[in-house]
């Protein structure tokens, strides 16, 4: 069976195409439509979901949360209580995926073999690879990695009764990430014109704004630093989230705080909350404005703004968007579920595309969110980032650029593959390195063509060609600094299979 999975920072969801050809959420073992992306390690097993989230208040050291923000960060490690083992972000994500898949199989009484998994549009190469590794670690065949806003557009198109042509802006604010995509829907085709975002901005940061305000207020009035009390810290974090959610419907909320025999009740009004998150909202507005401009459009060209992600329930967001776009944001789709539903639609499209007698009734054309290039030297021997494949190119895509050897009879070129928009190497990310072996006898300044491509999952590949001898040097293996080697992957996969997940 094929499913679509929204692997979220705070909550995850899974969906499939039912017998009527409609995407449907698969409930978990608790009968809930989403599963908290929280892991509690206890008694030698991993417990995922609501129980783990509740335990995070009293068992801080035994719980793993917000793991999505660590994807692609190879240095992140979390100790497994009662063992001498550590788990990384890929393994933790694999544990969450294992729980989601187990529950889906139990609910539908069918084995899940294939999945489309969503990622934030602004996820870079290392984060996309890490997500794919996590799924493959539990034995899933990853049909495709797609961007969350694109999945939302697919769900919207599929569930929309009138298939009218329109230009849609998708504002996707989840628990930990933010994306904007400008999408053209025309003649059964979904075309992403431009995308941008911030992979470190989400509802978690709204919680933090409340959390930090109360933290400072408690210390000012009691002289006690809550950072010395893990349990009080986690309880405050939980209450900050409750406060944020309550303020979507109420005008004020009182947050209790207790530590070292001192107690305080802090009132957070809607107006105070708005002031605390104003700078975050302004960041999202700036990204929206830049993305519309990147698409070559103005707000007058946009027909609809779709809200995606549970954090968009914060009323100030709708007010802000209407204020500068003149458009009332659409709330016709459940923001917590729409991404998983769209991923299920995409899974069915992959099936149709690969079956010769099936008709694909939706064409999806997505773009890359980061420019790709290599480090080269300028006339003054300074390193510069030379962009080869610009951002917002339609994927799959590839571009080539010619560089020149530096020495007579040069034997090899060590290539740093980059991701980012700036020429200055200080402000871009090096994905990894490749080494090109050159034919012997090349004169100095021999032309070498470097080709960079994005595949259908938005993952990077590189090739090289010796133009002097007209010889294809083949695809280069990118040694990704932030991702697992094949050997590391196999060892972790074997270990993961031994962990009981419920």
pLDDT reported for residue 378: 86
Taken in order of first residue, the domains within the chain and their CATH numbers are 2-201+282-366 (3.30.420.40), 203-275 (3.90.640.10), 368-481 (2.60.34.10)
pLDDT reported for residue 139: 93
pLDDT digits (tens, 9 = 90+) for 292-303: 999 999 999 999
* 466-475 contact pairs (CB < 8 A, 24+): 466/438, 466/439, 466/442, 467/402, 468/442, 468/443, 469/439, 469/442, 471/439, 473/436, 473/437, 473/438
Q: What is the dihedral of CA 33, 38, 40, 46, to 10 degrees?
A: 70
Q: What is the DSSP letter of 370?
A: S
CA–CA separation, 72 and 369 (whole Å): 16
Q: Do the beta carbons of residue 23 and residue 15 sit within 8 Å?
A: yes
Angle between helices 230-246 and 203-222 (to 10 degrees): 120
Residue with tokens 């700078």: 279
Q: Which residues of the chain have pLDDT under 70?
A: 81-82, 161-162, 351-361
pLDDT reported for residue 161: 65
pLDDT reported for residue 352: 47
CA–CA separation, 368 and 394 (whole Å): 7
pLDDT digits (tens, 9 = 90+) for 115-151: 999 999 888 888 998 999 999 999 999 999 999 999 9
Q: Do the beta carbons of residue 91 and residue 496 sit within 8 Å?
A: yes
Extended strands (E) in 56-213: 63-64, 78-79, 86-87, 114-119, 141-147, 166-173, 178-186, 189-198
- DSSP codes, 436-494: EEPPTTPPTT-EEEEEEEE-TTS-EEEEEEETTTTEEEEEEPPEETTS--HHHHHHHHH
pLDDT digits (tens, 9 = 90+) for 397-407: 999 999 999 89
Q: Is 354 helix (H, G, I), strand (E, B) or coil?
A: coil
Determine the Cα angle at 120 with ends 119 and 126, to 5°. 70
pTM recorded for the entire structure = 0.89
Q: Are strands 363-367 and 166-173 parallel, antiparallel or unpaired?
A: unpaired
pLDDT reported for residue 399: 96
pLDDT reported for residue 355: 43
pLDDT reported for residue 356: 39
Q: CA 145 → CA 224, 366, 499, distances in Å?
A: 46, 11, 26
Residue with tokens 């009764």: 161
Using CB atoms within 10 A of its CB, is residue 486 exposed (0-12), middle (13-18) or buried (19+)? exposed
CA–CA separation, 361 and 353 (whole Å): 10
């Amino acid at each position: 069976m094929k499913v679509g999975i929204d692997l979220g920072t705070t909550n995850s969801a899974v969906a499939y195409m039912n017998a009527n050809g409609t995407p449907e959420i698969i409930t978990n073992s608790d009968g809930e439509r989403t599963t908290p992306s929280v892991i509690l390690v206890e008694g030698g097993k991993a417990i995922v979901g609501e129980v783990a989230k509740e335990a995070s208040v009293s068992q801080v050291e035994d719980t793993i949360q917000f793991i999505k923000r660590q994807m692609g960060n190879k240095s992140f490690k979390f100790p497994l209580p009662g063992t001498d083992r550590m788990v990384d972000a890929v393994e933790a994500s694999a544990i969450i995926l294992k729980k989601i898949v187990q529950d889906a199989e139990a609910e539908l009484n069918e084995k899940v073999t294939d999945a489309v998994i969503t990622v934030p549009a602004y996820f870079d190469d290392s984060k996309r690879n890490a997500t794919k590794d996590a799924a493959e670690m539990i034995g899933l065949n990853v049909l495709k990695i797609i961007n969350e806003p694109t999945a939302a557009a697919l769900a919207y198109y599929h569930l929309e009764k009138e298939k009218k042509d329109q230009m849609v802006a998708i504002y996707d604010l989840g628990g930990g990430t933010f994306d904007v995509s400008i999408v053209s829907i025309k003649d059964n085709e979904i075309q992403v014109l431009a995308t941008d975002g911030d992979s470190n901005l989400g509802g978690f940061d709204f919680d933090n704004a409340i959390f930090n305000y109360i933290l400072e207020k408690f210390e000012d009035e009691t002289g006690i630093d809550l950072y010395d009390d893990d349990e009080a810290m986690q309880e405050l974090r939980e209450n900050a989230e409750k406060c944020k959610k309550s303020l979507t419907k109420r005008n004020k909320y009182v947050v209790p705080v207790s530590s070292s025999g001192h107690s305080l009740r802090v009132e957070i009004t809607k107006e105070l909350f708005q002031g605390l998150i104003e700078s975050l909202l302004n960041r999202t507005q700036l990204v929206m404005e830049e993305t519309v401009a990147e698409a070559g459009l103005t707000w007058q060209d946009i027909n609809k703004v779709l809200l995606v992600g549970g954090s968009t329930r914060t009323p100030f967001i709708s007010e802000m968007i209407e204020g500068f776009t003149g458009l009332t944001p659409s709330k016709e789709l459940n923001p917590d579920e729409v991404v998983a539903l769209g991923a299920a639609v995409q899974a069915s499209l992959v099936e149709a595309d690969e079956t010769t007698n099936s008709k694909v009734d939706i064409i999806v054309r997505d773009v890359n969110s980061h420019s790709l290039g290599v480090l080269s030297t300028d006339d003054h021997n300074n390193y510069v980032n030379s962009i080869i494949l610009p951002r917002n190119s339609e994927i799959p895509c590839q571009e080539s650029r010619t560089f020149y050897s530096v020495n007579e009879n040069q034997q090899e070129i060590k290539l740093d593959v980059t991701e980012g928009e700036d020429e200055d190497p200080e402000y871009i990310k090096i994905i990894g390195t490749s080494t090109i072996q050159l034919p012997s006898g090349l004169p100095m300044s021999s032309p070498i063509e470097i080709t960079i491509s994005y595949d259908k999952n938005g993952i990077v590949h590189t090739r090289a060609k010796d133009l002097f001898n007209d010889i294809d040097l083949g695809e280069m293996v990118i040694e990704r600094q932030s991702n697992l080697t094949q050997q590391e992957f196999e060892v972790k996969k074997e270990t993961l299979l031994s962990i009981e997940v419920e």
